[in-house]
Chains A and B, each alone.
Chain A
Amino acid sequence: MRYSFYPGCSMEGTAVAYCKSLVAAAWALGLYLEVIPDWNCCGATVAPGLAGSYTSRVLAARNLALAASRGLDVLVGCSACYLALSGANRRFQEDALFRIRAKEALAEGGLRYDGNLRVRQVLEVIAHDVGLDKVRERVRQPLTGLYVAGYVGCQTVRAVPWSFDDPEKPQFLEKLIEALGAVAVPFPAKVHCCGGSRAAAAPGEALGYVKNILEAAESAGAALVITPCPMCQFNLEVNQLRINQTCGGSFNLPVLFFTQLICVAFGLAPAAGLKHCLVPPYRALSRFRP
């Protein structure tokens, strides 16, 4: 199965481990990814406030226009990118007036898009196109006895509600954890907000969000947390260190992307990019690395 791949800005920077492990895990599952050439920032949830939703959707659609000629589904890992791209795509498909105006704007840059693509999140592709049975088959190093908290975050399941999971009580990430042989701890904070980009704009204000989530994961007995969202991963990891420094916390919870855990379970640990973690996961994963 082939897909156009939209990495997103964070995958070149703070979430470089997500990119590496995602490509490796996808390859192991028979998904071949072609990066959209010369893709641009999707605007995330920041550009709409400054340039308006319309402009923000049009600039996100430039990526879809670049991928249009190949006609493949667009695979997205980052949840903010997923929200922006799927939102733009839906407007293209459903709103005729939007389509006419947006096409005019895209033509200014010599591009054309008709709304012929589908935008898909990695977890959704694993749920629908791959299936957990295939994941189970591919496991070489079952993560037996590893207690994992699956932190789903907000936008992954809420950008397109019910596309693959319940937006209020998502189950799929936990099923995936179990498929890798690990134990998914009961984790009610899995859809609590991490503070999003507010943590970057005003770090002090967002510490409370992160603290609650980390406390919930710790008291559930998790050895590590996994998430499909670069913003969540960054907030949970960086603010964990900040809480330890400023509020006297003693958190030591590695926060990985779910694809990194998949890589470890698939016996592809070198491709998992574990060296990029600020909170080292080596002790938690010591039994599973070759």
Chain B
Amino acid sequence: MKTLKGAGAAQPLLYDCGFAREIYALEGGAQLKRCMQCGVCAVSCPSRQEMDYTPRRLFSLIRAGRKEEVLDANTIWVCTSCCTCRVRCPRGIDILGLMHELQFYYLRSWFKVHSRASFQQAFWQELRERGRIGEAGVMLRCWLKEGGLTGAVLKSLEMKGTGLRLLRRGRLRLIPPKIEGLTGLNKIIDKALAQQGYAE
């Protein structure tokens, strides 16, 4: 019998009835109710072989309230956002959007960190501080998050060849971009987060 993480070993839990409701309340989350378990998303997914659960199984687990299994699964993190499932879904569910919302749910209200989320966090940091994304900046931030200073130096050395090649071909900016209206952008983002009841 599995226990819910953080709930203490004394309380064995098979179902978390509130979990599905929490997911339905996410942006676009109510669409999940429309899923008829046909499995088209599962056979369409280019990453299906690496997934612990296909999207179809994940949705079934959400409905069953199996919070731990859903959040432990790598499914939402190996999604490549290719949109194939979204285009093919006979019920018109924005599966890609749900994957993103589940990542958001995970990072906001559950563990806050995930080994696969460092790229996203680096991306977001760059967006908040500069308004635009510089490839070199994001990768450096990502490596710093993953392995600290030593890790970043080692990774930079490992990727040196690619970096230099891009630099030589004029495809890598050394001066990172920055927008003028950054304060305004951050105000908009803060407001949007606050409207949903989140703050950074």
Q: Which of B97, B162, B185, B190 contacts A53 (CB 8 A)?
A: B97
Question: In the bound complex, do residue B127 and residue A43 qualify as a contact, i.e. CB atoms below 8 Å apart?
Answer: yes
Binary flags per residue of B176-195, CB closer than 8 Å to A gives 1, else 0: 01011100110111111101
B78 / chain A contacts, CB cutoff of 8 Å = 198, 205
- CA of A45 to CA of B76 in the docked complex: distance in angstroms? 13
- CA of A22 to CA of B162 in the docked complex: distance in angstroms? 25
Binary flags per residue of B143-183, CB closer than 8 Å to A gives 1, else 0: 00000000000000000011001100111110001011100
Interface residues in B79-133 by Cβ distance below 8 A to A read 80-84, 86-87, 96-97, 99-101, 103-104, 107-108, 116-121, 123-124, 127, 131-133
B22 near A: Cβ within 8 Å?
no
Number of interface residues of A (CB under 8 A): 66
B139 near A: Cβ within 8 Å?
yes
- CA of A46 to CA of B107 in the docked complex: distance in angstroms? 13
A1 near B: Cβ within 8 Å?
no
| Chain A, interface SS category | helix
CB distance from B174 to the nearest CB of A (A): 11
Binary flags per residue of A35-64, CB closer than 8 Å to B gives 1, else 0: 000111101111111111111101100100
B142 near A: Cβ within 8 Å?
yes
A127 near B: Cβ within 8 Å?
no
- CA of A196 to CA of B135 in the docked complex: distance in angstroms? 14
A47 / chain B contacts, CB cutoff of 8 Å = 120, 123-124, 127
Question: In the bound complex, do residue A50 and residue B107 qualify as a contact, i.e. CB atoms below 8 Å apart?
Answer: yes
Question: In the bound complex, do residue A52 and residue B196 qualify as a contact, i.e. CB atoms below 8 Å apart?
Answer: yes
Interface size range on B against A: 35 or more
A275 / chain B contacts, CB cutoff of 8 Å = 169-170
A17 / chain B contacts, CB cutoff of 8 Å = 171
A28 near B: Cβ within 8 Å?
no
A49 in contact with B162 given A58-B188, A58-B192 (CB within 8 Å)? no
B134 near A: Cβ within 8 Å?
yes
Q: Which of A16, A43, A48 contacts B171 (CB 8 A)?
A: A16
Q: Which of B46, B80, B121, B180 contacts A38 (CB 8 A)?
A: B180
CB distance from B17 to the nearest CB of A (A): 24
- CA of A110 to CA of B185 in the docked complex: distance in angstroms? 10
The chain A residues found within 8 Å of chain B, CB to CB, are: 9-10, 12-17, 38-41, 43-56, 58-59, 62, 80, 83, 101-102, 104-106, 108-111, 154-155, 158-159, 161, 167-168, 192-193, 195-198, 200-202, 205, 209, 238, 241-242, 245, 275-278
